[in-house]
Amino acid sequence: MVDIVGMLRDLWVSWKRILRLAKKPDDDEFKLALKLTMLGFLVVGGIAYIIHLIATWFKVSGGI
């Protein structure tokens, strides 16, 4: 039989441990994370835009 109370207790202990270790980032850490996130958005967006341009070009030109 599944011990639901024991599983919930273990989950609660894990959450408490994570919350105890978590901390608010300082300004430098936050700015670095923001810059890396924006760089990731630009890279993924640029790749998607290039794929869109290629697909549009194939559609307009009638393919290969």
Span 20-47, pLDDT tens digits: 999 899 999 999 999 999 999 999 999 9
**How large is the C-alpha radius of gyration of the chain?**
24
Q: Which amino acid is present at 44?
A: V
Could you tell me the two tokens for 1?
A: 């039989």
List C-alpha distances in Å: 41 to 15, 25, 34, 37, 58.
30, 21, 11, 6, 26
Q: What is the pLDDT of residue 63?
A: 66
pLDDT at 1 over 60: no
How many Å is the maximal CA-CA distance in the chain? 65
- What domain range includes position 54? 4-61
Q: What is the pTM of this model?
A: 0.60
Distance, in Å, from the CA atom of 3 to the CA atom of 8, rounded to the nearest integer, reads 9
Please count the structural domains in the chain: 1
